[in-house]
Every structure is written in structure tokens, then in C-alpha cells.
Structure 1
């Protein structure tokens, strides 16, 4: 059921704004929404009331399960609507986000015809390349723009905004070949005599999550996405490599890892506040079931403190045989999704969970094709678990209209 919320605002003096968040249907107050200027934020209280002291003329409002909303004193209005949204997103690869890509054309056709209302776009990929030209000179000096696939980001964003599509910018964070290969001093290194740059199985180097320079780089990239109008920044690879024995800036303990990730996300929230964007973080699906940080700096509890949404990659093919009491978890997509989300609801409200769902063939021994039935069961599970949406991961960005 969709609900429309009224945002009632009164302006008192130049430096103070007071207002209420009101549910139009029930006339009940909306609590715990974030109202902010570029530097400060307040929460609406149990009565839906807020008061913020500021001399700025723009405020941003964020409430879980709603589109981000910007208000201006120049509007001279007293009521503003916050639009609810259950995000139903398709992932567009670095190559699929071109204005001339058949993948984009197909995705837009599906959006025009179905319930799909959002896209996730690779703004910076694992290699470190940007999908469009940015004003981030450091990245451009490394050649991040040379392989860009979108030559007119304004045209691209207009296509999406004209359809009222919710836009999510995926930023691959600490896995970054370009940044690491150009910054030996804070690239993750092997713990050997030569201290050579470490690369994982696909030949990509990483930057050290303990080093503030890696934080500033990723956040600066996120600002470029916010500037062109994305509604949300989705940080992927916001973690340490799942590899022991590497040479890192700090002692590699669970406490230190969790603190480093939290420090990064807090800085991102502070820097991105002036754009009014939501921040989400991708995590392994098994983080939902782990009691520790899996050696990578991610727990549900710690991430919930520092981000708006958590996006567990709940691909049934990613769970080992025997998980959920099933020999082949991929044959039981509903159970995998529903139980995983239910398992963490005591640590984070499901409205702040938006899972990645599997839109690719099972690669385990069961070889489930993952067509309409399997995909719809995942979607049903996410909705039954009361999440605020879901995102479909297709490595090729090829989607079938008949699935929806």
C-alpha cells in the first residue's frame, strides 16, 4: 500500500527552520526522518517535529523507504510531499550505461512496461575507470576517464529522470587497480621481502582501507555521481580483501577493521550530506549469518550505524551445500532470501535492507537456469520480508520482459 506523506514547514527568522512530518492518510507523525543542510542534521522526533538552525536556503529530507527530497526557502510553501518508493532495480554494467547501448534501450523498455522503477549504474568499476568524464583531476591523471562509455551523462540522466527512475550510482571502493598502481605507498602489498603490490585472483590491486587517502578518493568519486543527480550512492567492495597475511597500515584485527570501515562511511555521510543522497553498502550474503566480521570488516551491527541501506548479495548460488538444510540452496531461492533477511531483523529494520537478487544461471552442481520462476520467488521473498526493495544482478545486463 502506498502512503503519501506531507512535509509541513514553517520558517522562523533567517537562521531557524521548524516543521513537522505528517502522514496524510493516518495524520500520524513521521518520526526519525533526517533533515539536513550541508553541515548539520536533525531527526524528526516522535511527534514528527524538527527544528534546525541554519542560514542556508536549501534543506534535504531523507526517510527510509522514500525518495530523497530537497526543499528551498524560495518555494515559500508550507507543505511538501515525500514520495514513498519500493526500489525495484536493474543493474546496468559499465558498458550497458552508454546512451547508445542496446542494454540501456532494453532496460528502459522494461521500465516503461513493468513495475521496475530504478537502475544501478557502474560509475566507477573494479579497474578504477569512470563511466563518464568527471571533474576529479586525480582520477583523470591516472586515466580513469579513458575507457568511459557514456559521453553525455547529462543526456543519460535526463532519460532516466524523465521517466522518474530512481538512480543508484555503484562505486567500487577499495578494489581499484588504477588508484593502487599509481599509489604504491597505500596500495595493499604482499608481506614479503619486496613488498610488491598484491593483486587478487582477477589481477586487480586494492588500496588500503586503513589509509585515509583511499577514503578521500572514493568519496570524491561519489561526489561526482551526486553532482550529476544520482539519488543514491552504492559503495561496493567496502571491505578488506578476504585474504590473510597482507601488509596493511594498521594491525589487522577485527576491531581495527570495523573501525576503519565505519570511519570511511561516516566521512562519506558528512561529505555527501550537501547533496541529499542516500548511502548504501553491498555486503556478502553470509554476513547476515556470521557472528564476526569474516575478516573483512563487515557486520550488520556496525554497518547499520553508519549507512542508510544495506544491500546483501543474497545469491542462492553463493551459499554452500548444506546451507538452510538444503543440499542445493540454489534450488530454494525463496528460503534463501526470506530466512537471511528475517535472521537480521533484530539488528536492522528490514526497511533498511535492499537485497541483491540473482539474475544469472546457477554455477553450482544443481545448474538451475534461474528464469522467471526462480527470479519471481526471490522477489516475493524480499517483499514478504518487508524490505524497501530489491536489485537484480545480471552480469551482462540482459533482462527479459516476460520475467516481470
Structure 2
């Protein structure tokens, strides 16, 4: 206020008026100062940052794991106030941030707010930085209706699934996925029967609903004989088998892929088969399959899995000692099968080798794969070591079959496992737990050769002389143990003489006994590939 204005003020304005003017001037000045001060407090810094909220609608799985995290951005996180749907909630301070887990929220729209609120004389005027997010929760899964598919005779046949998944965005079976129509209807074609599978419906929020698929592959009746690689290349033996086929006595040939010596009968391209010298190229697999298929015969390839002296000897020599079953001294386990005969079923590379052979054979056109010697050696477990084994031998064997199942089926072949006859009552003796195995195969093939049973087994005084009785009674156990699974029972029957002379009548008695027990399919075994065709009906 300069001197001239003061002088004028004194000379012109009365004292009372001057006092009122001063008061007014001070009031205006106070308002200006307060406005500047309050404005400074209300000048909001940059907003807070919140993470943890997924894009789109929050579904059930996202809701369970939802954690909202707000960065205090240089402010005291203890000054942060949180609200959910207008109600204060408490978060947890972690460093310079505050996290909050909402837990289960009702479906619908929700509002979450975080704001810094400071104290002090002017704290009631001060609005700190904040953040608000509005999100929607939807935890209701789709509802699914599925028309169950009819059974098919082969894994080479595609299957169409139809139904309605109300509220779903898409449905999937394995790696196959299709979007649903506006009304939720869908049609999805899968390349093979999805046995033991389920269909998954997913909505926009990620909520899922599963529906079991009751698909089944009903194998046609199998009337088969065992044929070795060398027998197939023997003109006379091969002719005998083909004559049985032409007469309608058999409809399936079981042709060896890998035999008891570990020899692969055809020119396999599996790397380990070639490196170990196992791939012998005895027969032309494609030509054999073509000839048999042209006669409308099915072909089951037999892989002797873990009795494999060729691989065991090669692996031990090459330093892959964990690939071999060992004795307590760390040397190869010796048995009546030889000094070094069994590979280690617990080793991933040995498992992969057998699965690779199975997949290759399925790709070549074998209609089925049967594992034989899918077990541990018989004998005392105290004398055996299985490097890498993390469970019981029985579980490990079953898990090997589980690992084999989908790769083999994906290539169009069915899967079976030959098992000891005693496995129904003494599974741990050779690590063949039938109920476990039956979960992962299309059939179990018990070897019920009458000559292999002890006198009195199943109350049969002399099994070798009573082929009907021992087959009928032993099959009852296998049918009970596989009940409730998708696995059939297809027995191996004896067509050779051991102690008792076997001819048409003895072989026929076993086939009749199996049929009476409800199992009309069978495999006949003769190591020399010489069969009694008169035991087989031409139908």
C-alpha cells in the first residue's frame, strides 16, 4: 500500500469507512490465501496402480486365486483405505503395497476402491491419490447335454459327438476344440473313439463343466494263432496259417514284432532298435500286413517287452547299466531265462523303446499291439534291484501300460497285455495287478495253458489232463477282476504237448470252456507255429 493511496484514504474517507474497508480487504486476502492453500492440498498427484484383476469377467477359478494389489506409489501404505462395494475392508501391507483377497464373491458387478487418506490439521480437506475398479463375477459353469456315441470296432474310425452346452463359449475333447453355436449346440469330430475321456465345456469367464464320454471300442471276435517272424518267412508254416484263414477257422494272426530274444522281426526305424542291432529285417512288415489285410484278417503285433537279452546286453556293454535289472551286488540279475535277460521296466529309456516300437507298428498298420513279458522276473524280490523305481513293481508295470495306451490308440491300434494265469491270485509274484492293468488296456490275455498249472489249482486234480475244467474255472477270476473296466478277457490257450499229448479234442475243450465262461475270443499258442486246425470251427 503506497503512501499516496494512504494519504488519499485519510483525507477522503471517514474513519468508520476506513475500518470497514480494511476488514473487507483482510477477508478477501484471507480467502485468497486459503484458496491457494486448499488448492495445493487438493491438487491430486498421479493415481494409484492396481494389479491382479484379470481381463474380462472373473470366473470361479480366477475368483479363488484373486488377489488385488495396490501400489502406494511413495505414500505410506498404512494410510491406504480400501472399500469393496462401499464397505471398508482390510488389506495386508507388504512393502510399499497393500494386497486384498476378496475370497468368494456373489455373481454380479462389484466396485473396489483404494485411496490414500492422510491425518493432520488439514487432513479432513486433503484427498490423496486413489484408484477404482469395477468388475463382474460369474462363477456359474455351463450346463452340458451330450449324446453318447455308439461303439465302434476300431480306433481307426472317427467319432462324432453332438450335444448342447448352454452358456459355453467352446467345447473340447483332448486337443480337439470347437466353438458352440448361439444356442449352445455343438458338433465335434474326434479322430478316434475317446475311451476313458471327457468333454470339457468352457464359458467366457473360464468356468468349466466336464461330461464323461461313454465311448467304447467293441473289438470283433478274435480267433487267432501265434506266428513268429521266422515262421512267417517259412513257406510251409505260413501256408498252413493262411489255409486256416481261408477256411474261416481263424480271423486274426498274431505276428511277432519283438520276440523273446529281443529281435525285432522287420526293419524297424526306431533308433535304439537299430543301434542295438535288434532290427533284423526278417520279414517285410508292409508286405505281410498287406497280404493279411487283403484276406480280411486282423493282425496283432506281439512285443516281448522286458525280457530282452539283446537290449540288456547292449545296454550293459554301452554303460547304460540302469537299463538292466540288477542283483544286490549291482551286477545283471541272472535267472533261468539267462545271465542277462531282463531290462529294467522302471527306466524311462527302456519304457520309451518299447512304446516307440508299438507306435511304429501301429503306424505301419498293425491292428493291435500286445505286450508280453510285461512284468518283472519271477523270483525273490530281495535278489532284484530296479534302478529308478519309485513305487512298487506292480504299480510301475501298470503305469507303463498307461503311458503306452494313448500313443498306440492315437495311431489306430488297440492295446492288450499278456499276463500269467497265476496273476489273478498271486499278482505280486510277477508284478501283474489285473485290476490296475485292466484300466489301461483293451484286453488282458491270461496264459491259461493247462500244462502250466500245479495239481489241485482251482480244485482241479490234474489240470494238464483236464483242460476244460482249468480254463473254465481260472477264467472266472479274470472276469471278476476286469469287471467295471473297458477291458475284455481274451485267453491264451494251449496247442502244444507238454507231459500230455494234445490234439484236436484237447484244444477244442479249452475253446469251449472259454466260451462257456463268456469269453469267445482266444489266441492259440504253439512256438513252432503248427496248429490243430480240426479244433477250430470253420465259421
Q: Same fold, TM exceeding 0.5?
A: yes
Matching of residue 338 in structure 1 with residue 338 in structure 2:
no
Structure 1 position 61, deviation (Å) = 3.0
Matched with 2:366 is 230
Q: 2:230 aligns with which of 95, 118, 129?
A: 95
Would you say the 8 A contact 1:34–1:63 is kept in 2?
no
Other structure's SS at 2:268 match:
coil
Matching of residue 60 in structure 1 with residue 192 in structure 2:
yes
Structure 1 position 199, deviation (Å) = 3.3
Would you say the 8 A contact 1:354–1:387 is kept in 2?
yes
Matching of residue 403 in structure 1 with residue 521 in structure 2:
no
The C-alpha deviation readout for 1:233-290, integer Å capped at 9, x for no partner, is 00001111112212221569xx511221122111101322321211100111111233
Matched with 1:172 is 304
Residues 175 and 83 of structure 1: CA distance in aligned 2, closer, same or farther (over 3 Å): closer
Matching of residue 247 in structure 1 with residue 369 in structure 2:
no
Residues 313 and 84 of structure 1: CA distance in aligned 2, closer, same or farther (over 3 Å): closer
Matching of residue 145 in structure 1 with residue 145 in structure 2:
no
Structure 1 position 214, deviation (Å) = 1.1
Structure 1 position 198, deviation (Å) = 2.4
Equivalenced residue count is 343
Residues 398 and 34 of structure 1: CA distance in aligned 2, closer, same or farther (over 3 Å): closer
Matched with 1:198 is 333
Residues 84 and 286 of structure 1: CA distance in aligned 2, closer, same or farther (over 3 Å): closer
Residues 386 and 227 of structure 1: CA distance in aligned 2, closer, same or farther (over 3 Å): same
Structure with max Cα Rg: 2
Would you say the 8 A contact 2:503–2:532 is kept in 1?
no
Matching of residue 271 in structure 1 with residue 404 in structure 2:
no
Gap regions ≥5 residues in structure 2: 1-145, 164-170, 178-187, 197-216
Q: When the two structures are superposed, what TM-score results if normalisation uses the length of structure 1?
A: 0.77
d(CA) in 1 for partners of 2:249, 2:502: 20
Residues 269 and 43 of structure 1: CA distance in aligned 2, closer, same or farther (over 3 Å): farther
C-alpha RMSD of the superposition: 3.1
Matching of residue 117 in structure 1 with residue 255 in structure 2:
no
Other structure's SS at 1:247 match:
coil
Other structure's SS at 1:190 match:
coil
Would you say the 8 A contact 2:149–2:161 is kept in 1?
no
Structure 1 position 360, deviation (Å) = 0.5
> Which stretch has the larger CA shift, 243-252 or 303-312?
243-252
Would you say the 8 A contact 2:312–2:343 is kept in 1?
yes
Matching of residue 316 in structure 1 with residue 450 in structure 2:
yes
Would you say the 8 A contact 2:253–2:299 is kept in 1?
yes
> Which stretch has the larger CA shift, 112-121 or 340-349?
340-349
Matched with 1:288 is 424
d(CA) in 2 for partners of 1:347, 1:326: 21
The C-alpha deviation readout for 1:330-374, integer Å capped at 9, x for no partner, is 1111111111111232321497000000000133xxx2x111111
Other structure's SS at 1:360 match:
coil
Matched with 1:158 is 290
Other structure's SS at 1:234 match:
strand
Would you say the 8 A contact 1:172–1:236 is kept in 2?
yes
Gap regions ≥5 residues in structure 1: 1-17, 23-29, 65-81
Residues 84 and 222 of structure 1: CA distance in aligned 2, closer, same or farther (over 3 Å): closer
d(CA) in 1 for partners of 2:515, 2:479: 14
d(CA) in 2 for partners of 1:35, 1:340: 30
Other structure's SS at 1:227 match:
helix
Residues 261 and 122 of structure 1: CA distance in aligned 2, closer, same or farther (over 3 Å): same
Q: 2:496 aligns with which of 360, 382, 401?
A: 360
d(CA) in 2 for partners of 1:219, 1:42: 28
Would you say the 8 A contact 1:172–1:235 is kept in 2?
yes
d(CA) in 2 for partners of 1:379, 1:172: 25
d(CA) in 2 for partners of 1:127, 1:112: 31
